[in-house]
Amino acid sequence: MKKLINNVDNVVKEEMEGIAAAHADLVRVDVANQIIIRADAPVKGKVGVISGGGSGHEPMHGGFVGMGMLDAACAGHVFTSPVPDQMQIATKAVNGGAGVLHIVKNYTGDIMNFEIAAELAQADGINVEAVIINDDVAVQDSLYTAGRRGVGATVLAEKIVGALAESKADLHTVAEMCRKVNSMGRSMGMALTSCTVPAAGKPTFDLGEDEMEIGVGIHGEPGRKRMKLASADEITEMLTMPVVEDLGLKQGDHVIAMVNGMGGTPLIELYIVYRKLDEILKGMGVGIARKLIGNYITSLEMAGCSITLLKADDEMIKLWDAPVNTPGLRWGV
């Protein structure tokens, strides 16, 4: 195992210390509790928006804490859910009196722990709503999930919902927008290689030199099929068409598109994938209104990519364009 680390037990702690040293202007970091909090939290009268999950998917979620996106992110160990205590502390820290939204990816551990945290926070008198993101069309149930997994739409939800919360919309309105983004967002991913969890010390799964996994999960969970390596164009079609069909995209629709690298994929390859995605959607009369191309929800050093499409209306696009100032996404400021 070749990694730029000191000790497998301290990977997340030292990452937190690095983020604290780098981004004190944007966030404060509770290193002991592995929580990243917006520097000026709680913002009075604003709905607090928090998320969290296992580490190893950076920049998600900690890299998306700041003005216009998340108020806090709870980091578990690599590929391991954070615990309810973290979420409870985060919920309290960001409560500006207007309640707190929990954005939860659909993994059994995350769901369970966020539910407990919501109950604890509500017992403390904080109004909490939770929205579950389950946008991965690849498989119905999975290694750590009942139903569809939550993946790339989480990034888009955090941006759009964060902008709406910034405008001082109320908790119900913010939660409804998050549900809408989830209902209009779909993703599918693939892997050329596995990744290695530091504490495990060996690849999560084995993939032959001429094989790839279509529909892979962000923890290396099995996808739809393992098959011979195909061309970028063929792979892009295999990822795009199930998303398009599940979403029922039709001529005249507009999407926010994300071509996401899994962590070990050169940007040059992501642009080759985007080229084909654009061609497919143009051929259907679907417009790409906004896009992200790069590493946003990763699986350590896995090589591969995922495609997320969000059928977007004017309100979503306006919220997308609103200023954001986080370590991982920044514009307008």
Distance between the two ends of the chain, CA-based, in angstroms? 40
Comparing CB distances to a second copy, the nearer of 162 and 328 is 328
- Tell me: does residue 34 bind a second copy (CB under 8 A): no
55 forms beta bridges with 78
Residue count (the chain) = 333
Question: From the list 35, 94, 161, 273, which residue makes contact with a second copy (rule: CB under 8 A)?
Answer: 273
- Tell me: does residue 293 bind a second copy (CB under 8 A): yes
Least separation in angstroms between CB 96 and a second copy = 26
User: Which of these, 147, 67, 140, 138, lies nearest to 110 by C-alpha position?
Assistant: 147
Judge whether 172 counts as a catalytic residue: no
Question: From the list 91, 265, 306, 308, which residue makes contact with a second copy (rule: CB under 8 A)?
Answer: 265
Write phi, then psi, for 49 (nearest 5 degrees).
-115, 120
Helices and strands (H, E) in the chain, number of each type: 8, 14
In this structure, what token pair is assigned to residue 186?
A: 């779909």
* DSSP state letters, 212-254: EEET--TT----SEEEE---HHHHHHHHHHHHHHHHT--TT-E
Least separation in angstroms between CB 130 and a second copy = 26
Q: Which pairs with CB-CB distance under 8 Å and at least 24 residues apart come from 159-162? A: 159/64, 159/68, 159/69, 159/319, 159/320, 159/324, 159/329, 160/316, 160/319, 160/320, 161/49, 161/101, 161/103, 161/319, 162/49, 162/64, 162/68, 162/69, 162/70, 162/324
CA distance 102 to 116: 12
Judge whether 77 counts as a catalytic residue: no
Q: Pick the catalytic residue: 23, 102, 219, 254? A: 219
Q: Which residues within the stretch 209-228 sit at the binding site for a second copy (CB under 8 A)? A: 209, 212
Least separation in angstroms between CB 4 and a second copy = 4
User: Which of these, 307, 329, 197, lies nearest to 249 by C-alpha position?
Assistant: 307
Question: From the list 129, 269, 284, 317, which residue makes contact with a second copy (rule: CB under 8 A)?
Answer: 269
Question: From the list 295, 306, 308, 326, which residue makes contact with a second copy (rule: CB under 8 A)?
Answer: 295
- Contact window for a second copy (CB under 8 A) among 1-9, 127-135, 215-223, 312-320: 1-9
- Tell me: does residue 267 bind a second copy (CB under 8 A): yes
Residues near a second copy (CB under 8 A), total: 59
Comparing CB distances to a second copy, the nearer of 25 and 248 is 25
- Contact window for a second copy (CB under 8 A) among 19-27, 41-49, 136-144, 147-155: 19-27
Q: Pick the catalytic residue: 23, 57, 102, 254? A: 57
Across the beta sheet with 48-55, the strand order is 27-30, 35-38, 72-78, 48-55, 100-105, 128-133
- Tell me: does residue 270 bind a second copy (CB under 8 A): yes
- Tell me: does residue 158 bind a second copy (CB under 8 A): no
User: Residue 74: enclosing H or E segment and its boundaries?
Assistant: strand 72-78
- Tell me: does residue 285 bind a second copy (CB under 8 A): no
- Tell me: does residue 271 bind a second copy (CB under 8 A): yes
Q: Which residues within the stretch 72-131 sit at the binding site for a second copy (CB under 8 A)? A: 78
- Tell me: does residue 59 bind a second copy (CB under 8 A): yes
User: Which of these, 125, 142, 241, 243, lies nearest to 184 by C-alpha position?
Assistant: 243
Strand pairing report for 254-261 and 287-294 = parallel
Least separation in angstroms between CB 35 and a second copy = 15
Residues designated catalytic: 57, 219
Summarize as ranges the residues that interact with a second copy (CB under 8 A): 2-7, 11-12, 14-15, 17-19, 21-22, 55-56, 58-59, 63, 78, 192-193, 209, 212, 229, 231-233, 235, 263-275, 278-279, 291, 293, 295, 298, 300-301, 303-305, 327, 330-333
